[in-house]
Structure 1
Amino acid sequence: MGKKESRSLITLCSFVCWHVWLSRNDLVFGRKVWQPTEVISAAIKAFQEFNAIPSNVISYPPSMVALPQQWIAPTTDYVKCNCDASYSANLNKSGVGFICRDHNGLPLIAISCPSSFSDILVGEAIVVQLSIMGMITNGFERVMIGFDNMNLITYIKDGGGTSPLHIRALVDNIIHLSSSFVSCCFFFIPQEINSVADSLTRRPLPLTCATD
């Protein structure tokens, strides 16, 4: 299997995991009971839509920008997403969370879920990947993604080649998925002003919230 085929397979698996997680939350909150075939069909449809994005769409490579030390609303055509991951060795618990907001600061998506990892860098990569998949599913075209791990931002900016082997596949998939947006940039946000996303990582129960 070539590199292109391997990357496509990893992306498909990511969409399957995303929809399995969404169906689990629907079951937990009593919204809907998904059949396995429905989950797979929805994941494949999302994957096919992702692959159907025209190659001639102007897409800017992932970039890194420095922003002021406070939350600033994006412009009207952008969605801004804050991500975070948390890990407690004492409690042996870990979780991820992200929130996407529009130019008015109103939340469009808020996600919180437990996730199994013991390396915070892995957790940060997982939540960035989840946030990108969530924004693709919701049809957002211009996005800004902020989190408080400068190392991960550097690995993404450098094209993944400098990333440690244990997160290489995650970083490669982040870069691949981010190419579907018309515009996508990654920025560093200090943890002290990333409090909303941070609080989502520490919730005792999973949370999924999307608004129209």
Structure 2
Amino acid sequence: MLFLSAAKRSVTLPPTGLYLTPLYPWLVWFLWKARNLLIFEKKDVTAADSLHRAIAEAKAWQGAQEAFPPRAVLLPLPQPTYLGPPGSISCFTDAACHADDDLGGLSWIFKDDTGRIIFQSSTPQDFIPSALAAEAFAVKLALSYARAADFLRLTCFSDCQELVLLLNSDGLSNQIQGLLDDIKSLSLSFVSVAFKFIPRALNSEADLLAKSSLLSWIPPSEV
């Protein structure tokens, strides 16, 4: 045991030519083989022969590693940061709907320009005709709260790409035109408002709030 512990700290010196592997594991292996040959087959292997074989096998292993260089480690790409510009408040909204009823859970989260949560809330809402309407309703309620809180600059993030496109293009939608008009009217209360899309996977905080609010309305037997 003392030998093995000391061997781990040993340095393989020239002219062996080894640099990718220490020599001691190969020495131990061939000493063990020489012992077995002596005990079971009465064959005597010299120390020099064991040493030469150990060096030869170590070089062969080293050559195999050089032929197949290690694969490059692919580091995960950094996720983009979804926050508004310095001095603005970032608002993250989401909505969850129940397929069998006109029920929805709406949520909104406000963060400062460092990403710290300032305020978050959610509410259940009935008479929701569609998922798009629920998403628009969540934005409307968020803007109403932001105006009451005297926020001046707001960047709103939603994972509903259709809604963001409608808000940024002054598009028309028979389904939610009233809500679009309300949102545009509320936007006039701020120095600046921007509407931006965020992938659903990166809007998990608002998504969890919305789903929790929806579940508070649905009987357990229907979940």
Smaller-chain TM-score range? 0.5 to 0.7
Of 75, 84, 91, the match for 1:81: 91
What's the TM-score once normalised by structure 2's chain length? Answer: 0.57
- Alignment partner of 1:141 is 2:152: yes
| Structure 2 contact 82–198 (Cα < 8 Å) conserved | no
Indicate yes or no: 2:110 matched with 1:100: yes
Greater RCO, CA 8 A, separation 6+: 1
Paired residues, what number? Answer: 137
Distance 1:120 1:69 in 2: 27
Aligned to 1:115: 125
Displacement of 1:90 after TM fit? 5.0
Contact 1:84 1:127 in 2 (8 A): yes
AA matched with 1:102? D
Query: Given that residues 122 and 167 in structure 1 are in contact (C-alpha distance below 8 angstroms), is that contact kept between their aligned partners in structure 2?
Result: yes
How far apart are 1:71 and its partner, in Å?
3.6
Q: Contact 1:97 / 1:111 at 8 angstroms: preserved in 2?
A: yes
Structure 1 residue 82: Cα displacement: 0.5
Is the CA contact (8 Å cut-off) linking 1:71 and 1:193 kept in structure 2? no
Structure 2: segments with no counterpart, 5+ residues: 1-77, 218-223
How far did 1:163 drift? 2.4
Percent identity between the aligned chains? Answer: 29
- Aligned partner of 1:184 in structure 2 is 193
Q: Which residue of 1 is the match for residue 203 of structure 2? A: 194
List runs of 5+ in structure 1 lacking aligned partners: 1-67, 207-212
By how many angstroms is 1:118 displaced?
3.8
CA distance in 2, matches of 1:127, 1:79: 17
CA 137–172 in structure 1, closer or farther in 2 if over 3 Å, else same: same
Give the greater-gyration-radius structure (CA).
2
Find the counterpart in structure 2 of residue 25 from structure 1.
none
- SS of aligned partner of 1:86: strand
> RMSD in angstroms over aligned alpha carbons?
2.1
Tell me which stretches of 4 or more aligned residues in structure 1 moved more than 3 Å: 68-76, 90-93
- Indicate conservation of the 8 Å contact 1:69/1:189, yes or no: no
SS of 1:100's equivalent in the other structure is strand
